[in-house]
Structure 1
C-alpha cells in the first residue's frame, strides 16, 4: 500500500473510499486535531469526470429537487427536508451567480454557471428549440425553479471541469498529522467483534483497527464491502460461504437513470470542435406523478476527436430521472478484486418504457426545430426516423444504458422498515461503529445527477455526528 505516512496501528475513524463523500468526511473529521483519521481508497483525491454511459462532457452540478427530499421525509427521514438540507448546499458552494437565499459564496466547491454567449452554437440552438416548443428558460436550476430549459452549472475552475475531491483533499488537508491517506488500497471487508465494527482488512490481508468504520466507496463499492463482510441477504451470503453478521437487504434496491442518446453530426458550417458546457431541458412526462419532473434531455457537443468525424457532433440524451424500476447488486465471488454483478433492470416497467419513449420523441422533436435543425445533419445515430412507437420502444430498450448515477444499494430510512439498511445518520441497522455515507444510502435515485447531493449528504452527516 502506498501512503503519505505510516498508518497508525489503531485509528479513531477509518474512511473507506476517497470519492466525493469520502473526501468530505476525511477533511471534516480530521479538522479535530485529537481525532486520528485514515482514508483508504484505490485513488484518494482528484479523478477524471465519469464517462461510462453518461452524457459526454462534464456532468451538471445540479441539486436534488425539493420534491426529492419530500420523498425522503415520507420514508421516515423527518429531518432531511429541503429546508433542512438547503443550508448545507449553500455552505459547500462558492459561486458568483444566483440568489443569496439559494447560493453560497465562500464554500469549498466552485460551481459555475456559464453565460449563454459562452456556450457552443448548437447548445444555444437547443435552448431556442425548447423555447419554441413552449418551455420556459431557467437561469438557475439550483434556484427556485427547475422546470424548463437552460445551460447547466458545473464544478469548474476557469472553465475546466473538476472533481469535487480536489477541493477537500487539498495538500494542506493531506498534510495534517492526524490524517493518513492510503492510496492504491482495495478494502476487502469490515472486521467485527460481535455486532461492533473493529476495523477493516485489505485485499492483501493488512488489518487496520479502528473505533469506527465509515464506508464511502460508492453505491457499488460500499455495497460490495458490506456483502463481503456478512451484511446482506442471508441466502445470497450462504451461497458464497459468508457468515451472516446482519441479514439486511444490501444491494436489493439499486436505482439509476436509464438514458438513450441520439448523436447528430454537426453541419460543416458549424463544426464546434470543442465541448463547451452543456444545456438541459427538465420536464414532466404525461405519466409523471404529482410535481415530479421525471424527464431530462441533455445537450452536449462532442468534439471532433470523440465524434470521429471532421465536424464534430451533437448528442441529445433523453434520461428518465424518476424511474420505478429497481435493480440488484450481488457478489460474483468473495474475491474483492472481482467486480460485483449489477443488474440495473433498466426500463423494467411498462410505465418506465412509456416515459422514456416520450423523452426520446421530445428530443427528436427538438432536433427538428428550426433553431437547431440548421446546425445539424439530419440523421441521428443510433436510430431510424419514421419508426412507430412500438418499433422505437424496442430500439430504446435495446440501446439504453445506465446514466452512471447509481444509488440506494444500502438505503437510508426508518429502521422499522424492512427495505432500510441504515438510519438517518448512516448507521447500519443492528450494528455499532459502522456507517455508510455516500450515494448508497440515498433512499431513491434523485431526479438529477448525484454529485452535489452526495457532497451535501457527507457534509451534513459530518456536522451532525462528528462536529462536537
Structure 2
C-alpha cells in the first residue's frame, strides 16, 4: 500500500495500516521527512504558510476572481499543511455531516463520525466525555483569552449580544469562544509528529521516504498498479492512496488520465477514466481588517490565535457561516516570521464559510511541472458579495464596540461600511482566501463514500478533495478525520 501525501490525512493512513504486520506500507512524501522539525515550523505563534518562499511550502498560482491573481500555499513536508497552517483544529458542524451523508451515505453522518473524532483526539481541556476523547494522537487545547486584545474581543462580542461558545468542538449555537488548536504550550503538533515520528516509525513494515514526489498513477486494465515517482521510478502496490491535498491530488489524477475527457485531450493526456475531477472547487473567501492598539499590548504567550466569533449571515445556516478570527501577531509578523513587530497593527480575519462550490481546477499540460489553472470563483453572485459585506461589517462593529475601545484606537484605514458599492470595491481590492480548499474530487460524482475512484480499482483518495464542499469551519480537523475513517474502511476490507 503506497500513498503520496502533502495533506494532514496521510500519516493517519500510514500508522493505522502499518499496525497490521501483514501490510507493507510505503509513504512517498514530496517534501522532506525530518527526524526533528525546525523550531520555526513548530512555533505556534507563527504561521509558516504565510511566509513567502518558506522551504516547507509549495505555492500554486491561482485566481481568486477575474483580474485577481493569487499564490495558494500548501505544506511540502511530512505532515503537510498541518505543519504550516495556523493550528486551527475545529470540527465540522452537524449540518456539514448531514450534507456529506446525502452524498456518501450514513457512514458520514455526525453520529457515525463522532467515535472517530473522539478517537483521534487527546482533548487536554475536557478529557474523556461523550463528545471528546483523551487517548488519541492529536492533542487539542483551546487558546487562552488572557491577552488584553483577546479579552476585549470577548467583551465586545458580549456587548453586541453574541452568545458565548466555550467549546467550538461541541454542537453549541455559534458565538464567541477560544479556538481549539493542535498546539500545546506554544508548540504545534502536526500529523507527522502525532502519527508517525513516535513508535510507528520503528515498524519494519513501514517505510517513509522524503523527497519522493509522484508524477502519476499507473493504471492497467482498469486497475491502479503503482505510481511513477518524480525521478521516473515506478513503485508497484496493491492499493494506492492519494493524500496530496485538494490542489495536488486532482492534478495528479489528471496527469494519470483520470478527469474530464475533453480537458485531458486538449492537454495531450490519454484518457483513462472520464470523471469530473477538478470540475468544482470549494473554499472560503477572507478579508483582513487591521486595527491600531491604543498602547503596546505585548505578544502572545502560546499561539498567534486569540478568540473566534461565528455568526450566521442574513440567509445562512443557523450553525453560523461567517467567521471572525483574531490574530495576536501583526500580519507583518506572520508574513515575516516574527512574533514581535513593535508599532504594527493587529488584525481580524473575516471570512465567509457558507458551503458552496464556486471554482475549478483544470490541467493544461501533460508536463507535471506545468501547474494547473486554479480558479476560486469568488464574489460571482450577489449573495457572495452580500455575505462578504456582512462579515466585514460585523468585524468593524467589533472594532467600534465600547469594550474593544479599551485596547483599540480604530481601524488602520477607514472601512466604507455605509455604502454597498464602495464596500464591494474595498473588499475586492483586499480579497484573500482562508486556504480551506475542498471538493475537487467529490464524493458521489468522482469517488464513492470510501474515497475509491469510480472505475479504477485499487485507487483511493483520502483528503479534503472528497468533501462535496468546504465545511462551515476550517477543515484541518476534518482532514484527519477523513484519514481515520478511510483507513478503518480499508482495514475492514
Q: TM-score, with normalisation over the residues of structure 1?
A: 0.90
SS at structure 2 position matched to 1:263 = strand
* Deviations 1:259-313, CA, capped at 9 Å, x for gaps: 0111113223434466543211111011214x34111111111259618952343
The residue that corresponds to 1:349 in the other structure is: 381
In 2 relative to 1, CA 254–386 (structure 1 residues): closer, same or farther, beyond 3 Å? closer
Aligned residues: 445
Cα gap change, 1:428 to 1:333, in 2 (>3 Å): same
Distance verdict in 2 for CA 1:207–1:325, change over 3 Å: closer
Tell me, in whole angstroms, the C-alpha distance in 2 between the residues paired with 1:18 and 1:352. Answer: 30
Q: Which secondary structure does the structure 1 equivalent of 2:136 belong to?
A: coil
Measured after TM superposition, the shift of residue 129 of structure 1 is 0.5
- How far did 1:318 drift? 1.1
Q: 1:422 aligns with which of 447, 457, 461?
A: 447
CA apart distance, 1:127? 1.2
| TM alignment of 1:123-202, pairs within 5 A | 123-202=150-229
Corresponding residue number in structure 2 for 1:409: 440
Alignment CA distance shift 1:373-1:334 (3 Å)? farther
Structure 2 Cα separation of the partners of residues 330 and 176 of structure 1: 39
Residue 245 of structure 1 pairs with residue 272 of structure 2: yes
RMSD (Å), alpha carbons? 2.2
Give the direction of change, closer, same or farther, for the CA distance of 1:57–1:177 in structure 2 (3 Å limit).
Answer: closer
Aligned to 2:393: 361
Matched, 1:458 2:483: yes
1:445 aligned partner: 470
On the 8 A contact 1:273/1:311 being kept in 2, the answer is no
- For 1:200 and 1:126, how far apart are their aligned partners in 2? 50
1:117-151 per-residue CA deviation (whole Å, 9 max, x = no partner) reads 3xx21011111111100011111001131411011
Shift, 1:450, TM fit: 0.8
Q: 1:357 aligns to what SS in structure 2?
A: helix
Q: Secondary structure at the match of 2:238?
A: strand
Question: Residue 252 of structure 1: CA displacement?
Answer: 1.1
SS of the aligned residue for 2:313 comes to: coil
Q: Which of these residues, 13, 25, 33, is aligned with residue 21 of structure 2? A: 33
The one of 80, 94, 99 aligned to 1:66: 94
Q: Is the 8 A contact 2:166 2:178 kept in 1?
A: yes
Q: How far 1:334 moved relative to its partner?
A: 2.1
Q: How far apart, CA to CA, are the structure 1 residues paired with 2:341 and 2:90?
A: 31
Q: CA-to-partner distance for each residue in 1:77-125, whole Å, 9 max, x for gaps?
A: 23210000000000000013237111001111000123433xx210111
CA distance in 2, matches of 1:167, 1:458: 13
Give the Cα–Cα distance (whole angstroms) in 2 for the partners of residues 449 and 347 of structure 1. 19
- CA–CA separation in structure 2 for the residues paired with 1:176 and 1:269: 51
Residues 442 and 467 of structure 2 are in contact (CA less than 8 Å); yes or no, is this contact kept in structure 1?
yes
Unpaired runs of at least 5, structure 1:
1-12, 414-419
Deviation at 1:164, TM superposition (A): 2.4
Answering whether residue 109 of structure 2 is matched by residue 111 of structure 1, we say: no
Q: Does 1:121 align with 2:109?
A: no
Higher mean alpha-carbon deviation, 93-102 vs 436-445, is at 93-102
What is the TM-score of this pair, normalised by structure 2?
0.85
Change (3 A) 1:57 1:326: closer
**Which residue, 313, 332, 338 being the options, matches 2:370?**
338
Q: Provide, for residues 410-466 of structure 1, a one-character-per-residue CA deviation record: whole Å limited to 9, x for no partner.
A: 0013xxxxxx10001110011100000101101111011111111111101111221
Contact 1:272 1:312 in 2 (8 A): no
2:297 aligned to 266, 270, 290, which one? 270
1:394 aligns with 2:425: yes
- In structure 2, relative to structure 1, the CA distance for the partners of 1:295 and 1:244 (3 Å cut) is same
CA distance in 2, matches of 1:435, 1:313: 45
CA deviation profile, 1:142-187 (whole Å, cap 9, x unmatched): 1131411011111012232222221001143222111111101120
Q: Cα distance 1:166–1:303, how it changes in 2: closer, same or farther (>3 A)?
A: same
- Check conservation: 2:123, 2:132, Cα contact below 8 A: yes
